[in-house]
Amino acid sequence: MNSKIPQEIQRVNPSNMAPPGGHYSHASIASGLVFISGQLPITPSGELLNQASFEEQVKQTLSNVKAVLEAAGSSVAQLVQVRVYITSIGNWPSFNQIYKEWAGQSLPARAVVPVPELHYGFSIEVEAVGVV
């Protein structure tokens, strides 16, 4: 006989970030893991950085990932997996250098996926899973 164990799920929407642009939360916490929704280069005030340089977009996106992790009680050091979507694989070296500085000693599993386009004309989107 299979019995279902009820599980608490927490939603995380930090007040120091722009609210989600759709019907989702910035993160969900379940079973000791935090699942970060795809983060885009949007400033805390809601400014879309779609006209900014790729490097500026990367820095804002990673800053958003970090803010959500911290609001969930986690950190960059507790990342388990990161998935990155970029619109030009030619930007991979630049992304990798900025990411290396941001992640420091943390070496989570990672995938960088080239895609034809992203919402609002952004060049990058990052989703992640961490431990809380």
The pLDDT score that the predictor gives to residue 93 is 96
The pLDDT score that the predictor gives to residue 7 is 76
The pLDDT score that the predictor gives to residue 4 is 66
Any idea where the domains of the chain sit in the sequence?
A: 10-131
Give average pLDDT by consecutive 10-residue segment, the chain, 132 residues. 69 95 96 97 97 98 98 98 97 97 97 96 98 97
The pLDDT score that the predictor gives to residue 6 is 58
The pLDDT score that the predictor gives to residue 32 is 96
Question: Span 10-131: which CATH code?
Answer: 3.30.1330.40
Query: What are the beta bridge partners of residue 81?
Result: 109, 129
Give the angle 19-21-26 at the CA atoms, nearest 5°. Answer: 55
